[in-house]
Structure 1
Amino acid sequence: MKNIKYIFATMFLLSVVSACDVTEVENLDFKKDNEIYSNIIEIRNVLNNVYSTLPAGYADLGASWLAAASDEAEEVNNFETIQNFNNGGITAFANPDDVWAKNYEGVYNAKVFLQGTDTVTWKSYQLSNPTVYADRVNLTKQYRAEARFLIAFFYFDLIKRYGGVPIVDEIINVNDPNWISRFPRKPFSDCIDFVVAICDAAAADLPTAASELGRATKGAALALKARALLYAASDLYNQAGNTNPLYGYTDANRTSRLIKAAEASKAIMNFTPAYAFQATYEALSLLGTTKSNEVIFERRYSASNTFEKQQTPVGFPQGQTGTCPSGNLVDAYEMSNGTNFDWNNPSQAASPYTGRDPRLAKTIVTNNAVFNKALYTVEAFNGGINGRPRDRATKTGYYLRKWINENLDLQLNETSTKQWIFMRLSEFYLSYAEAMNELYGPSGTGPGTLNITALSALNSVRTRAAVAMPAILAAGQTQATLRDRIRKERRIELAFEGHRFWDVRRWMIAPHTLGAALTGVSIIKNVNNSFTYAPMTVENRIWDDKLYFYPIPQTEIDKSNRVLIQNKGW
């Protein structure tokens, strides 16, 4: 291998920040292999460049994110490309969430790293400094495991969008125009098996705790495995009569897949040292440089206030609105006694945000709520400082609170560090509950580690101190009713964490959720300073079943000489 050529972005590394504050991606194009792979700091820098390919998390699609292409939210800007998901504008030539090239770039860079470190032995230190020798051998082993984890992460990011994808098992020559034609798409099942195998291999060599915030750990690898297995056991990939292996399984062995999914999620619940729920729900939005025992894998962002400016309500200093949470989501939050909210209940309709699940106020800003250290009271009503007809005022009557650091004074351009949470403990309690309910119903248990019921796992999330919602009782629960409760709980607990867009697809309920009217609330301020609230339709959205799988970018189809098979409908 001559000078190694990396496809690195010219940007600051935002995903991994160490005690040494190594935050800048170094341009390594002109360094020889022996310069890079004989220096542990350089090796670390190469790996950091691979981390930089991870999804952005916050505003991952320009100034918007996939929440605004689901029934969680609406993007305030009608001209953001995210609107193509909602109006039927996605094509094989234009997809705002086309991550095909980026993820294969990440795979390529990780493979170059693995090849470069494959023959590193540190023998020069073995006799002269055994302590340094042992440390560098162990670090190199760990870094190689991190690279393998990242490969699995990039592939799963592709699989959940496109179904079966090519598995590129060599370092290709990027200057070879015909390389793509050598790698046809693999069956979905092969791709899942590939991801799971890599996660298992990486977990064996990863530490249980990261020395630096944002690095992969054993728990992260096992959590990614659990997520992949839950997806693999879901409705979308287990359709009766499916004969195309690119879109899922063609056998009838779903039960075995559900067992694997439940076991994998239970492994996270039982992990040692144990993960633990955060003391308060809102604290997850303000972790900064703090390591949380609930967070399994995260991306660290350097000090900024870009997200706060994008999401602060217009009408407040520097506020641009951005994402408008939907009435569909707000209405899903239960009353604090565990009953459903109902617009047809006069007392609830008169004061719709009183006595609700506490996660509502910690996730969404409603009319007349305080914002930014109680400096402001939100006026989302018609004619209010944050309401219509003001330009960029919320379309839905709601603003986002989750992830916003309200302690910042944006007029003084104050900044703070942030974390984007890829995986946390609550997800895997809910994933376990989902798989167990499909296997054994609300109150059944299974062999081995499957000794907690679906209902118990669900209630562990609902009743924890940070939430304190009433437990769901076993009486009257069926598999179907608990399925709905699990899905609702997942929608609430993991709101704006990048799940809903994918969940409604894998459950195959998108026609009734993404193809339904997106709602909001109309708010009128009365002369006596009271408010009148009424639900309203914000947008009638379009759904087509071909959107269950993204189109393969047409440019990639063409470059492959049609070896790559396009997804159905595109």
Structure 2
Amino acid sequence: MKSRIVIVVLLLAVFASCESQLTKTPDFISEDVVFEDESLTEAYLASVYNRMEFIDTGGEGTLNMGMIPAAGAEHINFANWQTPNSTYRRSYTAAAGPGPLNYWKYGAIRDLNYLLENIVNSESLSEEYILQKSNEARFLRAFIYFEMAKRFGGVPLITNVQEVDDPDEELFPARTSEQEIYEFVMAELEDIIVTMPDAKSGASGRADKYAALSLLSRASLYAASIGNFGEVQAEGVVGISPSSVQAFYQKSYDASKEIIESGMFALYNKHDDKMTNFSQLFLDEGNEEVIFAEVFEPIIRGHGLDNLATPAGFLSTWNSNYPVLYDFVEQFDFVDGRKGTDISRDDLTSENLWDIDDFFGMRDPRFRASVFYPESVWQGDLAYFHSSTTYTNDAGERVTVSSGTLDRNGEAWPAACHPRNARNTALLLRKRLDESNQEPIAGRSGQDFYVFRYAETLLNFAEAAYYLGNTAEALDALNQLRDRAGMPLLTEATEENIRQERQVELAFEGHRFWDLIRWRIAPQYLDKVRTKGLVFNYDLDADKYAITLKNAEGEERTFGPERYYLPISLSLIADNPNLTQNPGY
């Protein structure tokens, strides 16, 4: 059992209330005494942690865990009715609003403001405890504002509890500029870091000094990128001033360097086999690479990742839900130095045969740990993705079959895989799956979600160092990651390889979509693009595969320049006429 934040969540039954009711007196316990008791204070704060959505676990069977990777064209979902697919397929409009990508958590902000205003008046709690909980609350509030800024740009900045009799200008605040929101986030984090103890609790789900430094590292890098590659619009409501870029890169560099030099974290490196090592990183919870995690526990607070993602043919009850796009696979290079794009798409024809161990097995071990492909070994068996098998029959005829079983060197070989495995891309998400979970069912997976891990710190450091002119430091950080992965070391740090290394290392962890946006290159990958999947036909005689391309999605993706920000819902503007709409909507 994980004796972590999930245990605190059990206290919520004692102190349950809707966000909109937090300033009212509960039926069975008065808020006047909440901050006189540590257990009630923990329950109050845990209720906010529980609503943070560090990863979205909404949707049937927690399907929305794949939403941000789907938006970023890393993988899609099995069916178009599933929310992640509707997220990237929909047309964003003022009338429709931001849809499933929405993150407008002023209820949680109000709860945090209430704690910050009232816990300081406690007569029972120690000053040390009050400071600790206040710092946690300020971290969570900063995280929420960062998440809103990266979606909407400037948003109303509210740092006190609003009351119904407040003046209209306080009840209906206008949007603060995007730059001011980022500066608020940075200032809050810089302030609380000073008084947070030099101890680790982030892997257990509680914000600590290093979680705050990690958020500072990430948020500063985002702000610098937007200023570097974007433009200021709508009188500053969206955009970052170019004059602030170097200062923001420096903040990201400094925060990252403080984490690195603390000696508190290191890249996970417990297993000699590089693929095994990268797989186990996400299962060996609480390891030295984890800076801050959202904690899950089967039954108490579980999710359905194993059940959703395991390929058909094994014992999951609802499988094959995250088909990986071949467009993204091409980001993964080969261990012998070949680029992932060196395999020309023109060569993917029914006439050419490929050794599957070369086509996939010789790629970056992080790919093999992250993606199921034909003949991947899982739970002691093979995962199949071929749609048909061609062989020479007893009459000497070449035939192609898609049903039944054939003999392959004395072993049974299915003429075709389960249809679910081949339906979309014939590649599936593997990263973070627990191979020891032999019979996964909904809600019974407990892998933690790593909100911040040391690998991202190195990537943030490399990117900030590069734009500050410290290319040698950038190269060293990148090569630490490549060495851990068993990939050839780079000889120079460039914008291109910094971005590629980030996408490969952090694949399917919810970064790529936002990275493409902050770099202002999203249209290159997401606009007028018809993403691809693969079709595998196995040649039994040659023990190789004919590999061809197919359209993975029914239509081209669309990503116009207005999509760098999400629209403000018209319902919100109706509620608060001082809100202005984002450009392009």
TM-score past 0.5 threshold: yes
Q: 1:544, CA displacement in angstroms? A: 1.4
Distance 1:266 1:535, change over 3 A: farther
- In 1, distance between residues paired with 2:386 and 2:116? 53
Out of 177-186 and 390-399, give the one that drifted further. Answer: 177-186
- What is the identity, as a one-letter code, of the residue corresponding to 1:293? E
Distance 1:24 1:374, change over 3 A: farther
2:281 to 272, 284, 302: 284
Q: 1:407, CA displacement in angstroms? A: 1.0
Task: Report the equivalent of 2:43.
Answer: 45
- In 1, distance between residues paired with 2:219 and 2:523? 23
Out of 382-391 and 482-491, give the one that drifted further. Answer: 382-391
Task: Report the equivalent of 1:73.
Answer: 75
Task: Report the equivalent of 1:485.
Answer: 497
Q: In 1, are the aligned partners of 2:568 and 2:581 still within 8 Å (CA)?
A: yes
- In 2, distance between residues paired with 1:430 and 1:406? 28
- What is the identity, as a one-letter code, of the residue corresponding to 1:246? V
- In 1, distance between residues paired with 2:186 and 2:80? 40
- In 1, distance between residues paired with 2:443 and 2:526? 37
Task: Report the equivalent of 2:366.
Answer: 359
- In 2, distance between residues paired with 1:210 and 1:245? 38
Task: Report the equivalent of 1:430.
Answer: 459
Alpha-carbon displacement from aligned partner over 1:398-445 (angstroms, at most 9, x marks no partner): 0111111121122788944221111111111111111222221633xx
Q: 1:326, CA displacement in angstroms? A: 1.0
- In 2, distance between residues paired with 1:40 and 1:386? 62
Distance 1:60 1:266, change over 3 A: farther
Q: 1:320, CA displacement in angstroms? A: 2.5
Out of 15-24 and 69-78, give the one that drifted further. Answer: 15-24
Task: Report the equivalent of 1:141.
Answer: 131
- In 2, distance between residues paired with 1:413 and 1:506? 35
**SS of residue in 1 equivalent to 2:292:** strand
Alpha-carbon displacement from aligned partner over 1:306-326 (angstroms, at most 9, x marks no partner): 221111223433132221111
Pairwise mapping of residues 476-555 of structure 1 onto structure 2 (< 5 A)? 482-515=494-527, 516-528=529-541, 529-539=543-553, 540-555=556-571
Q: In 1, are the aligned partners of 2:12 and 2:43 still within 8 Å (CA)?
A: no
Distance 1:229 1:199, change over 3 A: same
Say which structure is richer in helix.
2
- What is the identity, as a one-letter code, of the residue corresponding to 2:478? L
Distance 1:47 1:463, change over 3 A: same
Q: Percent identity?
A: 25
- What is the identity, as a one-letter code, of the residue corresponding to 1:472? L
**SS of residue in 2 equivalent to 1:139:** helix
Out of 491-500 and 378-387, give the one that drifted further. Answer: 378-387
- What is the identity, as a one-letter code, of the residue corresponding to 2:361? T
- In 2, distance between residues paired with 1:332 and 1:295? 25
**SS of residue in 2 equivalent to 1:532:** strand
Q: 1:525, CA displacement in angstroms? A: 1.8
Q: In 1, are the aligned partners of 2:68 and 2:513 still within 8 Å (CA)?
A: yes
- In 1, distance between residues paired with 2:511 and 2:90? 21
- In 1, distance between residues paired with 2:353 and 2:365? 16
Distance 1:173 1:299, change over 3 A: same
- In 1, distance between residues paired with 2:445 and 2:372? 21
- In 1, distance between residues paired with 2:376 and 2:387? 12
Out of 261-270 and 213-222, give the one that drifted further. Answer: 261-270
Distance 1:278 1:559, change over 3 A: farther
Q: In 2, are the aligned partners of 1:379 and 1:386 still within 8 Å (CA)?
A: no
Q: CA RMSD for the aligned pairs? A: 3.1
- In 1, distance between residues paired with 2:330 and 2:353? 11
Q: In 2, are the aligned partners of 1:15 and 1:301 still within 8 Å (CA)?
A: no
Out of 392-401 and 64-73, give the one that drifted further. Answer: 392-401
Is the counterpart of residue 336 in structure 1 residue 331 in structure 2? no
Task: Report the equivalent of 1:462.
Answer: 482
- In 2, distance between residues paired with 1:407 and 1:364? 17
Pairwise mapping of residues 49-448 of structure 1 onto structure 2 (< 5 A)? 49-57=47-55, 59=57, 63-64=63-64, 65-92=67-94, 93-101=96-104, 103-122=105-124, 136-173=126-163, 182-207=172-197, 208-210=199-201, 213-235=204-226, 238-239=229-230, 244-279=235-270, 280-287=277-284, 290-303=285-298, 304=302, 306-317=304-315, 318-341=317-340, 342-344=342-344, 349-351=354-356, 352-371=359-378, 373-382=379-388, 383=402, 390-391=419-420, 393-410=422-439, 415-440=444-469, 442-443=471-472
- In 1, distance between residues paired with 2:426 and 2:167? 51
**SS of residue in 2 equivalent to 1:356:** coil
Q: 1:272, CA displacement in angstroms? A: 4.6
- In 1, distance between residues paired with 2:127 and 2:81? 52
Structure 1: where are the runs of 5+ without partners? 1-12, 123-132, 444-452
- What is the identity, as a one-letter code, of the residue corresponding to 1:494? L
**SS of residue in 1 equivalent to 2:323:** strand
Out of 14-23 and 266-275, give the one that drifted further. Answer: 14-23
Distance 1:439 1:468, change over 3 A: same
- In 2, distance between residues paired with 1:527 and 1:564? 64
- What is the identity, as a one-letter code, of the residue corresponding to 1:32? S
Q: In 2, are the aligned partners of 1:16 and 1:300 still within 8 Å (CA)?
A: yes
Q: 1:301, CA displacement in angstroms? A: 1.0
- What is the identity, as a one-letter code, of the residue corresponding to 2:135? A
Structure 2: where are the runs of 5+ without partners? 18-25, 271-276, 389-401, 404-413
Q: In 2, are the aligned partners of 1:209 and 1:217 still within 8 Å (CA)?
A: yes
Distance 1:387 1:232, change over 3 A: farther
Task: Report the equivalent of 1:10.
Answer: none
Q: 1:472, CA displacement in angstroms? A: 0.3
Q: 1:23, CA displacement in angstroms? A: 7.4
- In 1, distance between residues paired with 2:55 and 2:433? 13
How many matched pairs?
524
- In 2, distance between residues paired with 1:409 and 1:23? 32
Q: 1:82, CA displacement in angstroms? A: 2.9
- In 2, distance between residues paired with 1:331 and 1:248? 32
Q: 1:537, CA displacement in angstroms? A: 3.2
Distance 1:486 1:41, change over 3 A: same
Q: In 2, are the aligned partners of 1:336 and 1:355 still within 8 Å (CA)?
A: yes
- In 1, distance between residues paired with 2:440 and 2:242? 59
Task: Report the equivalent of 1:7.
Answer: none
Q: In 2, are the aligned partners of 1:206 and 1:216 still within 8 Å (CA)?
A: no
**SS of residue in 2 equivalent to 1:422:** strand
Distance 1:20 1:422, change over 3 A: closer
Q: In 2, are the aligned partners of 1:159 and 1:188 still within 8 Å (CA)?
A: yes
Distance 1:526 1:210, change over 3 A: same
Distance 1:282 1:506, change over 3 A: same
Distance 1:391 1:212, change over 3 A: closer
Q: 1:541, CA displacement in angstroms? A: 1.4
Alpha-carbon displacement from aligned partner over 1:512-555 (angstroms, at most 9, x marks no partner): 11122312211112242532112333232122111100111211
Q: In 2, are the aligned partners of 1:238 and 1:250 still within 8 Å (CA)?
A: no
